[in-house]
Structure 1
Amino acid sequence: MSSNFGIPPSNVLAHLEPLTLDVPEEELEQFKNLLKLSNIGPTTWWNQQEDTRFGVSRDWLIKAKDIWLSTFDWRKHEAYINDFPNFKITIKETDSCQIDVHFAALFSKRKDAIPIIFLHGFPSSFMDFLPMMDLLRDKYTPESLPYHIIAPSLPDYGLSGSLSQNLEMTLERAASIMNGLMIALGFDKGYVAQGGDLGSMIARLMSVNHKECKAFHVNMLTLEPGSAPPSTDSLAPEDLRILERTMKWRQDGLAYALEHGTRPATVGLAISSSPLALLAWYFTLITRLNFF
């Protein structure tokens, strides 16, 4: 059924390479061996607390490691990903730099279909949008689908590549690449960008810096650094309660973001050394974000 949604518009401006994800078995075995050899630190007072105040607990990590090794089935998830049309496309960022971008898609055959690009955040991936795409392909046919759905892996994430080891991937550059993706797919007349978390920042920049982005929707919006906070005099009691909760979260839930922003090299090298290190770090991020 998904193959019917995998036919791109006739005005695509670049070569699309269909992608079937197939991680080599030797890489999966290497990963599993690394996971087996990843030690879990000794018991401390802090890592015995189950309320996430201090991050992941030791017992949770022990159980997660066991599930990962004994019952997790990567091939099942791989088959789910491959059940959707996936592609890779080369986007030129500058005359000397280009990048391979992966995306999953549902293409419509309607002439008036609205192109929408969905931008994930961190820690996340394009897979966030597959359940939504599942609903859409159950509800519509390629002839009736009112949208073109484009769900890319952001540059430097997952199945997408990097521009260069000698270039910093800034938000502006990522927005330019995502806009280039939509233009290459033939949507130069206009498209909509939707994003959450990091994707919300990129979507906003696409709408500001690129005329092809006609509208955007975000589920996270932050004030510019240095912006004066608005008055709270007219807020309802419920809004004041939410604001108070947010201020508390800023005191004890923002440490990971400060580490990411100030020491990204250290964090990247540390958590890429072990699957369990990565999982423990993700746990901390997700539990802090779920505070809301």
Structure 2
Amino acid sequence: MGDRIEPFTVEVSQDELDGLRVRLQNARWPDEAPGDGWTRGVPLARLRGLAEHWQSGYDWRAQEDRLNAFPQFTTRIDGQRIHFLHVRSPRPDAKPLLITHGYPSSVAEFLHLIDLLTEPEPPDGQAFHVIAPSLPGYAFSTPLSGPGWAMGRTAAAWVELMRRLGYERYGLHGGDVGAGVSGTVAGLDGARVIGVHVVTDPLTAANVATFMPGMADRLDAADPVDKAILDRMDAFRREGSGYLAIQNSRPQTIGYGLVDSPLLLLAWIAEKVHEWTDLPVDDDQLLTNVSLYWFTRCGMTTAHTLYEQAHSTDWGPPASVPQGFAVFGADETVRRIIPAPAGTHWSEFPRGKHFPAMEAPAELAADLRTFFGPLT
């Protein structure tokens, strides 16, 4: 295949759609769990409502058309099929921007963001040519070619992708896994990268701190800010890390259920969207993301990539390009965890959390324009 880039169109067969509806119609439902609200997982009423909408109200064909309104392509890099959106701005001053999603997400996360970047308001704002790949093992970047697809290898594939597209200078943006990949690309390809912009929130920062060697020892429980960080880290270990522990240790086992059961897949993703958001996410956008996982059977392969990252030591060289941080749901804890050097772009937003491209796309787009506008 060489460097060949081929056009791609999302085309889910009617048999696949009918099969999903039959599975949802014949789902076996448990009794409501004891306890209140979300304390033990997704409440029965919430999941029933989502499943019923997925079965009879949600219009996949309309969402398929929405995805196909963006030019899409595939190419093969390092033996792996890579799917990506490549949406060029009509503006002659547009800058290339490579945006990377995280877990449990997909390019559907960016449906409300892309137009704001390619054709910005106000019209004199910085515009972008948007390149949005599906991470290896996610959605249409499947099947997974084999082991080893942690962030370092993915970042090297992104460098090659931008070379194939002919971009000499480009910016980077990401959140969650996408933030790590973006930072690694900046370290690998600093001569071409103009800057890297990432999003975070207090919960995500505390979760990352849980895995940072010695972080807990550097915090003083007598300090109110440090205590808030320690409490979040402890809560994540006790209450929020089960999904990650399973995938980091037994991805194959949980993968059978994620590929075979639409209810498990829906609950698995809907729980994280609920826990990691502060502003409402449209149910149709949530279901488009879940549908991409379902139709491509990528629940298992995404779990395997999380396993690979948990067992990887390949973080690549540090980045030396301009860096920007956008903190959603901001409080004083994030600055303590991420001691950004002087001159770093730092924006704080009171609302939103882990998925600002879905929760607050206008605010995120504006911050991207502010950060990348003066960079060349």
- TM-score, scaled to structure 2: 0.63
Shift of 1:193: 1.6
CA distance in 2, matches of 1:23, 1:163: 19
Contact 1:256–1:285 (Cα < 8 Å) also in 2:
no
CA distance in 2, matches of 1:278, 1:186: 38
Shift of 1:215: 2.5
Which of these residues, 101, 118, 130, is aligned with residue 149 of structure 1? 130
Is 2:16 the partner of 1:27?
yes
- Distance 1:50-1:64 versus aligned 2 partners, 3 A rule: farther
Which position in structure 2 is the counterpart of 1:257? 244
- Distance 1:234-1:39 versus aligned 2 partners, 3 A rule: closer
| CA deviation profile, 1:215-242 (whole Å, cap 9, x unmatched) | 2222246356424447456998567546
CA distance in 1, matches of 2:253, 2:56: 31
- Distance 1:202-1:137 versus aligned 2 partners, 3 A rule: closer
Q: Which one is further off, 247-256 or 121-130?
A: 247-256
CA distance in 2, matches of 1:35, 1:184: 42
Which of these residues, 10, 31, 38, is aligned with residue 27 of structure 2? 38
Which of these residues, 136, 150, 159, is aligned with residue 140 of structure 2? 159
Shift of 1:253: 1.3
Is 2:182 the partner of 1:197?
no
Counterparts of residues 31-180 of structure 1 (less than 5 Å): 31-41=20-30, 43=31, 47-88=33-74, 90-93=75-78, 98-108=79-89, 113-139=94-120, 146-164=127-145, 166-180=146-160
Which position in structure 2 is the counterpart of 1:181? 161
Contact 2:220–2:227 (Cα < 8 Å) also in 1:
no
- Distance 1:119-1:230 versus aligned 2 partners, 3 A rule: farther
Shift of 1:264: 1.1
Letter in 2 for 1:91: R
Q: Which one is further off, 175-184 or 229-238?
A: 229-238
Is 2:266 the partner of 1:279?
yes
CA distance in 2, matches of 1:257, 1:15: 36
CA distance in 2, matches of 1:160, 1:134: 23
- Distance 1:274-1:234 versus aligned 2 partners, 3 A rule: closer
CA distance in 2, matches of 1:124, 1:83: 20
Contact 1:108–1:145 (Cα < 8 Å) also in 2:
no
Which position in structure 2 is the counterpart of 1:289? 276
Contact 2:20–2:55 (Cα < 8 Å) also in 1:
no
Letter in 2 for 1:17: E
Letter in 2 for 1:78: E
Contact 1:118–1:152 (Cα < 8 Å) also in 2:
yes
Contact 2:119–2:127 (Cα < 8 Å) also in 1:
no
Letter in 2 for 1:151: A
Letter in 1 for 2:152: E
Q: Secondary structure at the match of 1:116?
A: strand
Which position in structure 2 is the counterpart of 1:5? none
| CA deviation profile, 1:154-176 (whole Å, cap 9, x unmatched) | 11101123452x43322211111
Letter in 2 for 1:195: G
Q: Secondary structure at the match of 1:91?
A: strand
How many correspondences in the alignment?
A: 270
CA distance in 2, matches of 1:144, 1:60: 40
Q: Secondary structure at the match of 2:112?
A: helix
Look at both structures and tell me which one has the larger radius of gyration over its CA atoms: 1
Letter in 2 for 1:170: A
CA distance in 2, matches of 1:145, 1:14: 30
- Distance 1:29-1:194 versus aligned 2 partners, 3 A rule: same
Q: Which runs of 5+ in 2 are unaligned?
A: 279-352, 354-376
Contact 1:109–1:145 (Cα < 8 Å) also in 2:
no
